[in-house]
Amino acid sequence: MTTFRDRRAAGFSLGEQLRQRDWHAPLVLGIARGGVVVAEAVAEVLDAPLDVVVARKIGAPGHPEFGLGAVTSSGETVYVEQSLRSLGLAPGELDETRSAEQAEAGRRESAYLPARQRVPREGRDVLLIDDGLATGVTACAAARTVRRENPRSLVFAVPVGAPDAVERMAEEVDDVVSLAQPPDFRAVGEWYAHFGQTTDDEVVALLSGSR
């Protein structure tokens, strides 16, 4: 059983794995919020710039914690079709929630980067980082948003992920790097000794401290 001390330690381990490859103008993108902590350590190892992408979960009516999909500030939306069918829902019935989450994604991006411009993604090898991959729906929405900006390549990298989610993610990006794919995966937090919630202030501080 692989257990990481915390997100930053996991990021250094992931960075060492990624450092074995040759990258062209690499850019490290953390999926907010927890993914930014991992990404900051990866960026430090690779001596690469750090930036952020926000994907917000679209919750089920009356049960917002049950994610049926995800959306980014650009409007890129992904739904878990099996979950929609099981609840007898159509995507159009979630338009109000989707719009609210898209607006929140935009608000957070503006708050995270108040005094700096986004790092260009076109023509770069972009490494999209999260702290774990459970269903993969938010990572998928983030990846599709980044793909539209014409990176040279797009790699998704994560310390730990559910095997089926890693397999699905491989269809969205050029490559997936996962340090651990435990067959008994249940929740991301089980694979960390310390897995407290990352705050907006922490994300801002990490981005402000990066080059």
- Exposure letters 31-70 (e unless 16+ CB within 10 A, then b): bbbbbbbbbbbbbbbbebbbbbbbbbbbbbeeeeeebbbb
**Sign of the CA dihedral with 195 first, then 66, 86, and 170 last:** negative
- Cα gap 174→37, rounded to integer Å: 23
Provide the pLDDT for residue 144: 97
Provide the pLDDT for residue 116: 64
Q: What is the mean pLDDT of residues 108-124?
A: 85
Provide the pLDDT for residue 65: 81
pLDDT digits (tens, 9 = 90+) for 134-175: 999 999 999 999 999 999 999 999 999 999 999 999 999 999
Domains 7-55+112-209 and 56-110 share a fold: no
- The CATH class given to the 7-55+112-209 domain equals alpha beta
- Cα gap 145→126, rounded to integer Å: 12
Residue 56 is inside which H or E element, if any?
Answer: strand 55-60
What's the pLDDT band for 2 if we cut at 50, 70, 90? low
Q: What is the mean pLDDT of residues 66-87?
A: 94
Q: What is the mean pLDDT of residues 108-132?
A: 89
What's the pLDDT band for 119 if we cut at 50, 70, 90? confident
Reading the block at residue 178, the tokens are 């996962």
- Cα gap 200→111, rounded to integer Å: 8
Provide the pLDDT for residue 115: 56
Provide the pLDDT for residue 118: 80
Q: For the sheet containing 27-31, what is the strand order?
A: 50-53, 27-31, 125-129, 153-160, 175-180
CA nearest 185: which of 155, 211, 157, 165? 165
Contact of 177 with 23, CB cutoff 8 Å: no
pLDDT digits (tens, 9 = 90+) for 26-59: 999 999 999 999 999 999 999 999 999 999 999 9
3-state helix, strand and coil shares in percent for the chain, rounded to the nearest 5: 40, 25, 35
CATH number for domain 56-110, candidates 3.40.50.2300, 1.20.1290.10, 3.30.1310.20, 2.60.40.350: 3.30.1310.20
* Residue boundaries of the structural domains of the chain: 7-55+112-209, 56-110
Provide the pLDDT for residue 183: 94
- Cα gap 40→121, rounded to integer Å: 17
Q: What is the percent of the chain with per-residue pLDDT over 90, rounded to a whole number?
A: 90
